[in-house]
Amino acid sequence: MSGEWQRLDRRTLWLTAIYLLGLVVVAGVPTALLLLQGGVAAWLVSLVVGGGGLVLVTHGVLIDYVRWWYTEYRITAERVERRFTFVFRTHKSVPRERVRTVDINATIVHRLLGLASVRIGTGQQDMFGKVSITFDPLAREVGEALRAELPHKEDEGPEVELARLDRRWIRYAPVAITTPALGAGAFGLVMQLSEWFNVQVAVVDLIRDLFRELPLIPLLGVIVAIGLVLGAIGSLGLWVELWWDFRLSRQSGNLLVRRGLLTRRSLTLEERRLRGVEVVEPLGARLAGGARLDAVASGFTVSIDERRNDPRTLLPVAPRRLAHRVAAEILREPVVPTEAAALTPHPPAARRRRLLWAVGAAVGFALVLAVLGLLLVEALLHLAWISAVVLTPAAVWIALDAYRALGHGINGEYLVARRGSVRRSTVALRRDGIIGWVVTSSPLQRRAGLVTLTATTAANHGGYRIPDAGEAQALALADAAVPDLVAPFLDADQGAGVAPRQAARQPTP
């Protein structure tokens, strides 16, 4: 880079115009149809909708022109800087030696125009969140040059591929936990569109005519089946958009993830920040033999808009054996600790707690439906007993499965902990990445002799919980994982209940 102040790519004006035109079409067409059905003259509808759209696009482009004209950036040998000077002045600057990631996102409109959004991250936090600088947009080749130049490099070795998309992985998409939600969303979308086009009554009548002869229980089964089919179709489309052309590789001390069909994403993770891995097995994927691989790394926090595209995910749901192999290669271990560790089970009291909570939730839901049935609609009484019959055995199975999953142990340099049924998670956390322990015990846990042990770390969400462990085994595990950190608590806690407490040390550089 020259080190001189430069502007973002001028094609940002076209980018803004295209996005706003799309918004005008999406919002304007239903509005126009509603106005026409309400008896408004066509010329007046065209004037209102077309004129409003023109004003929106024009003002949006003018605002973006101001942003483009008064925004400048430069990259010198010492710093990465961006400034905006218009009425108020903002100047953001980070030292180059703190740059850890250069992530590139390109929507389909970006790609058509040869542009990309580039976010330069430091892996650090301040009071406002992640310390990063975003340049949106830059020419695609400029973004690629920044990614090659800025992040810390341990060496200049060749790029080594660790995993590549196998199209057979798509079989895990329909069993994702999002499938029922997408199916329900599809029903809602149909009803919303029918309301926009003023045919909602006709749609309801059509559905009633199709299923008029079905009794209640088969009707519910048909509705659920249709919802699941629609949800599976939506899950397949979402999976293809997120993970098409996926590739995971290692180069110069960094892990690189590239993926996406319409929106291309290119993410980097400096291996020096890696504190372990987490093997995640959602229930559907686990029953199908699949697992996902997430990174445990310092400086990672996930904002609301990133939760769907979690940057921690290094491998989508794939065969479990492959996930373990890739995890071992990432950690540079012969066998991944999450697979090799012999985990210590938790006391039977932990099983009783899970059974009580699960069965109580299922019975409570059925009772709520029964009360509503008595007060409102008699059909809810049928749903109440159906729910009790179906959900109670399922709740018992999930509770027992969750108890069987509970376990913890130490494997070499790693603390290994597993928990969950609907979302089973097995984390391997480097012991030198543990900066403290938090031991908590609720009144019900104290009666059962259980505690929740949390290993605090600077990675990801700040800590990993080991719930419902025996009091003595939890403290012994903490002392074995990080010697001398909890030793002052061991004698004091013998024979006494554990109140919330914590021990900490300075984080490992």
pLDDT digits over 54-86, tens only?
A: 999 999 999 999 999 999 999 998 999 999 998
The 3 state secondary structure assigned to 143-205 is: HHHHHHHCCCCCCCCCCEEEEECCHHHHHHHHHCCHHHHHHHHHHHHHHHHHHHCCCHHHHHH
Q: What is the model's pLDDT at position 488?
A: 65
For 237: left if phi > 0, alpha if psi spans -120 to 50, otherwise beta; the answer is: alpha
CA end-to-end distance (rounded Å), the chain: 30
Pair of tokens at residue 116 = 């990309």
Nearest Cα residue to 12 out of 131, 118, 101: 118
Nearest Cα residue to 508 out of 277, 269, 273: 273
In this structure, is the dihedral angle defined by the CA atoms of residues 411, 247, 258 and 317, taken in order, positive or negative?
negative
Instruction: Give 174's strand partners.
Output: none
Residue 492 sits at φ, ψ, to 5 deg, of -65, -25
Separation of alpha carbons 308 and 318, rounded Å: 18
> At CA 130, angle to CA 128 and CA 134, rounded to 5?
105
Pair of tokens at residue 388 = 């009790």
Q: What is the model's pLDDT at position 258?
A: 94
Residue 488 CA, chain-centre distance (Å), reads: 38
Cα within 13 Å of Cα(244), Cβ side: 10
Q: What is the model's pLDDT at position 505?
A: 56
DSSP state of 153: -
Q: What is the model's pLDDT at position 496?
A: 42
Q: What is the CA radius of gyration of the chain?
A: 28
Q: Block means of pLDDT (10 residues each) for the chain, length 509 residues?
A: 86 96 87 75 82 93 96 93 91 87 91 94 61 91 88 73 96 91 83 71 72 72 86 93 95 90 89 92 95 86 50 92 95 88 91 96 93 83 88 96 95 94 95 91 93 88 91 91 74 47 53
Kind plus residue range of the DSSP H or E element containing 450: strand 450-457
Nearest Cα residue to 457 out of 422, 400, 414, 397: 414
- Asked if 106 contacts 168 with a C-beta cutoff of 8 angstroms, the reply is no
pLDDT digits (tens, 9 = 90+) for 426-451: 999 999 999 899 999 999 999 999 99
Q: What is the model's pLDDT at position 332?
A: 93
Pair of tokens at residue 294 = 């997430």
**pTM for the full predicted model:** 0.84
Nearest Cα residue to 300 out of 281, 278, 332, 316: 278
